[in-house]
């Protein structure tokens, strides 16, 4: 396991910055490698190029890699494991359990243990740095609190994970679960970028107070904020996608890359330990690292903010409908206890 000083020594030739992941003792780069594209989640990726991307990332100081058995139904983990062969000690690996297909979820303790062992096999390692329960909004919050998180702690005690956490889209639900069952790290996606920023108010202060490492994933809003545009399956409302196209036009008028501006916007925020962006090509890695050196103009950011204002923080339904009322039954139980 590589400590902060060792990683700094190895990456001394780069401009990458590292930050502590909450109270875990793990150090992460401010920019992390999202490995879902390695599982062909955004189109077919060439494995040889994926391997080059992983190696180039490490060379440039991007040492944290986020994957899941859900990404490519194991393919992302397999490709990442092969790419990191011989370089595992230079990497921080985060993976997940609980979600296995579009509509296949299992947050039981037995599945947590079995999933962990399966992931370790695909990743060709005997431990991961962070093991998350994946997309908890699709599960029963009480099961996640009473069964899943304790099972993750068992995995941690076995030495198969250095830290444990939860991931999901609804930040309020993540807050509620973590307040009831302490975790080491939380990852949310699409909740802090040019289109949404409620991660900063609804979750970041709690994480800072509790010493929880916060991952901000999808700075491009799952490619809505990209020149190519979002994939067909993207759940954002049509009006949000329309505004994103206007943001693209504004960036082009200013001679700026929308991807660079979106990434720079996230990286200047101090509320998260790291920002996770999907990559599958060495060119992606180099472009993202280069973007870190730039600063979006205040005039452009002001123009974007004005464009985005009508749809700011416009989310979409995600997970079980009953989880939208995220305070039940936890808040009701708490209120009942205080009433007595």
CA atoms 237, 261, 217, 119: torsion sign:
positive
Measure CA 215 to chain center.
5
Name the nearest CA neighbour of 294 among 254, 331, 245, 322: 254
Amino acid 334: pLDDT: 44
Note if the pTM is more than 0.85.
Answer: yes
Listed residue (196, 150, 156) closest to 177, CA to CA: 150
Q: Label the pairing between strands 161-168 and 128-133.
A: parallel
* Distance, CA of 304 to CA of 296 (rounded, Å): 11
Strands 99-101 and 92-97 turn out to be unpaired
Residue 323 burial (C-beta neighbours within 10 Å; 0-12, 13-18, 19+): buried
Q: Is the peptide bond before 6 cis (omega within 30 degrees of 0)?
A: no
Homologous superfamily (CATH) for 4-223+262-294: NADP-dependent oxidoreductase domain (3.20.20.100)
**What DSSP letter does each residue of 271-323 carry, written as one string?**
SSSEEEEE--SHHHHHHHHHHHT----HHHHHHHHHHHGGGTT-----S-GGG
Return d(Cα 201, Cα 178) in angstroms, integer.
Answer: 16
Tell me the C-alpha distance between 59 and 40, whole Å. Answer: 24
Q: Which residues are catalytic?
A: 71
Mean pLDDT for back-to-back runs of 10 residues, the chain (340 residues): 38 75 98 94 90 98 98 97 97 98 97 98 98 98 97 98 97 95 97 98 97 98 95 93 98 96 96 96 95 92 98 95 69 47
């Amino acid at each position: 396991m590589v400590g902060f000083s060792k990683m700094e020594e190895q990456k001394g030739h780069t401009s990458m910055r590292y930050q502590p992941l909450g109270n875990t003792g793990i150090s992460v780069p401010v920019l992390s490698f999202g490995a879902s594209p390695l599982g062909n989640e955004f189109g077919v990726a060439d494995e040889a190029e994926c391997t080059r991307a992983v190696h180039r990332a490490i060379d440039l100081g991007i040492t944290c890699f986020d994957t899941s058995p859900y990404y490519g139904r194991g393919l992302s983990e397999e490709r990442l494991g092969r790419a990191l062969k011989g370089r595992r000690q230079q990497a921080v690996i985060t993976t997940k359990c609980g979600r296995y297909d579009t509509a296949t979820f299992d947050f039981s303790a037995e599945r947590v243990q079995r999933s962990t062992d399966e992931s370790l096999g695909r990743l060709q390692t005997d431990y991961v740095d962070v093991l998350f329960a994946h997309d908890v909004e699709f599960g029963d919050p009480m099961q996640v609190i009473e069964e899943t998180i304790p099972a993750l702690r068992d995995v941690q005690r076995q030495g198969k994970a250095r830290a444990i956490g939860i991931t999901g889209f609804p930040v309020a639900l993540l807050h509620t679960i973590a307040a009831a069952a302490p975790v080491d790290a939380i990852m949310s996606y699409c909740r802090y970028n040019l289109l949404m920023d409620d991660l900063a108010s609804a979750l970041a202060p709690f994480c800072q107070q509790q010493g929880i490492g916060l991952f901000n994933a999808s700075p491009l809003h799952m490619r809505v904020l990209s020149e190519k545009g979002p994939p067909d399956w993207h759940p954002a409302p049509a009006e949000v996608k329309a505004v994103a196209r206007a943001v693209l036009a504004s960036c082009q008028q200013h001679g700026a890359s929308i991807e660079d501006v979106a990434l720079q916007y996230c990286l200047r925020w101090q509320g998260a330990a790291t920002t996770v962006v999907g990559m599958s090509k060495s060119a992606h890695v180099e472009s993202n690292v280069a973007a870190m050196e730039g600063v979006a103009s205040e005039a452009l950011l002001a123009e974007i903010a004005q464009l985005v204002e009508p749809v700011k923080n416009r989310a979409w339904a995600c997970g079980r409908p009953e989880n939208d009322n995220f305070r039940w039954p936890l808040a009701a139980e708490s209120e009942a206890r205080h009433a007595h």
